[in-house]
Chain A
Amino acid sequence: MTAVSRRRLLVFAAVFITAVYLIPVYWMVNTSFKGAEDIFATPPDLLPLPPTFGSYADAVFSNGDIARGLMNSGIIAVGTTVVTLLVALPAAYALARLKVRFVSAFLMLFLAVQMVPSVNLALPMFVLFSGAGLVNSYAGLIIANCSLAVPLAITILRPYFLAIPEEIVEAAKIDGCNELTAFWRVAVPVSTPGIITVGAVSFLQAWGEFVFGLALAPDERFQPVTVVLAGITNAFGTKWNDLMAVSAIIALPVIVLFIFLQRYIVAGLTEGATKS
């Protein structure tokens, strides 16, 4: 076998394996464009021809519950991202560049809490939040999401601050910056990639989060779309095309963000998990 044909074979194998692996994603999109009777075809149609947008029209756009869920998820995810950045940025900076004692103990704390199961937080939070009036509120859901997003964000951000050349920060201080202004005017702007990474990761995790929404928002008015979808699954019964349309809409922002920020997201999620 020549080198060229061997390389061709390799490309073909890689394309084939990737395609097979992503059948679930394809099947979601495919089913979401099918009509009510097409989904029960045996054997199933591999292409949704002719495609219909009926499921998107009925299940997503004219379904008030889903629309409200999407809005709630948006509010919770944006809120989580903003709060996480505000809290994590200065902390990561301090652990990277300032004179702090017990740095490794702090790092260990932030790394260790990432290992905590969500259920372990959701159950006591329900009890504690009940007492504090935070059940069924955006604030409660944002706080809950931040509890896991903040430690992860600090772990991801610290290496970016470590990488800033000392001269830049020193020059700023000579120019009359104090600790806070040096951080805000110099360190934060040059760490934009890290901030994009943390922003994207926090947003994605909060957007797809399920357990906190389930435990802390019994009232439908505050439920994120993930919980709304789980709640109406039984009502949808076998309307798989509608279910897949809603699933596709939930996946859409994730896929769009991923297309544009893939490099950042992968770096953030893998390094957050493996760096100490």
Chain B
Amino acid sequence: MRRTTVRPRRGRLNVAPYLFLAPAVAFVVLTVVYPLIYNILQSFFDVGLREVVRGGAAWVGLDNYRDQLGRSEFWHAVVVSLVYSVGTVAIAFAVGLGLALLFHREFRGRNVLRALLLLAWILPTVVSANVWRWLLDGSYGLLNAALSGLGLLDRDLFWLGEPNPALLAVTVATAWSFAPFAMILLAAGLQGISPTYYEAARIDGASAWQQFRSLTFPLLRPVSLTVTLLIFIFTFKTFDTIFLMTGGGPGNATETLPVYAYNEAFEFSRFDTAAVATTVLMVISIALALVYFRALRNEEGA
């Protein structure tokens, strides 16, 4: 990071710049930092609906944590979150890389097509979740119609009504939204690779596959790490896609940590155990963010 500021002379602190900053800092402290701390504190108290309305919650120390860490539903949510996030990252990265390589070539209409693909990424989640529900409909959905047309399916498969197909479906739907984002970042990475490398490789007689394996892929590593981590962080905290497509069901087959936390709070009015789940979610997110920041710094230092 470049330092663009000059330190003021010792003893004379210029207040004006801090007045420019104050509203934003106050805003973030009041609307993000304070709720986060409050949330962590809640996980150490006994908070049900009565306490939310009237206040006066009792301190219970680590009881909520003991309760949650001993619950199979909680661990199930952690595992589902990991499977969902890893799956989404894998699919979005593979598809995004394929698209980036395709659009790295010069041809007419390239920019229009690339812009069209980005629509998948910026569509509101409510819209894409609803469309996917319709595509995956067991009786009249387009996917089943296409699969039976190809002779791959001989029954009405209700994708969102069966545990494993449902988890696969929400993963694919989420990856569909993130792949264009991966494409954009990876395309920028490809732009940054000097063509002279490839010229040298061609002179040495390297095949396209060899060029990809020994040039493109290693040189893309920093960007790939960024893309992978970012999509993992975004997916790990995703609530709306799953809530809207399956509500965490069938049973709790697609219940990730954010959905689990929401249900604890608003279905069962257990705000304290919900706070445990969100605190665990946040600790994992922060750990991932730290890895990401370190990767960023290494990239800049490189």
Contact = CB atoms under 8 A, between A and B. Distances in A.
Interface of A: 7, 10-11, 13-15, 17-18, 21-25, 27-28, 31, 39-40, 42-44, 86-88, 90-91, 93-101, 103-104, 106-113, 115-128, 130-131, 143-144, 146-148, 150-151, 154, 162, 179-180, 183, 204, 207-208, 210-211, 214-215, 226, 229-230, 233, 238, 240, 243-244, 247-248, 250-251, 254-255, 258, 262, 265-266, 269-270, 273-274, 276
Interface stretch (B137-145, B163-171, B190-198, B208-216): B137-145
Given A22-B119, A31-B134, A124-B36, 14 more contacts: A25-B119, A86-B23, A91-B21, A98-B5, A98-B20, A101-B7, A109-B25, A112-B286, A123-B278, A179-B17, A180-B16, A208-B125, A215-B262, A230-B244
A14 B285 CA distance: 36
B123 interface: yes
A115 B107 contact: no
Interface string B107-124: 111100101111110111
A112 B281 CA distance: 15
Given A14-B109, A91-B23, A130-B52, A229 B130 contact: yes
B77 to A, nearest CB: 12
Nearest to A117: B237
Contact of A247 (B126, B140, B149, B240): B126
A180 B285 CA distance: 38
Interface string B95-116: 0000100110101111001011
B122 A204 contact: yes
Contact of B20 (A18, A91, A109, A229): A91
20 contacts: A13-B102, A14-B107, A28-B127, A44-B142, A100-B21, A106-B25, A117-B281, A117-B285, A119-B261, A123-B39, A146-B27, A147-B28, A210-B125, A215-B266, A238-B140, A247-B127, A248-B127, A251-B123, A254-B123, A265-B122
Closest 10 CB pairs of A and B: A208-B124, A117-B237, A91-B24, A98-B17, A94-B20, A147-B31, A124-B35, A90-B20, A124-B39, A115-B289
Contacts of B8: 99
Contacts of B82: none
A160 to B, nearest CB: 13
B93 interface: no
User: Chain A CB within 10 Å — which of B33, B107, B108, B131 has the most?
Assistant: B131
Interface residues of B, number: 98
Interface string B6-35: 111000001011101101110110011111
B42 A127 contact: yes
B239 A211 contact: yes
Most buried by A among B125, B126, B271: B126
Given A11-B107, A111-B293, A113-B33, A104 B1 contact: yes
B71 interface: no
Contacts of B226: 274
A42 to B, nearest CB: 7
A72 B16 CA distance: 37
A39 B140 contact: yes
B130 A233 contact: yes
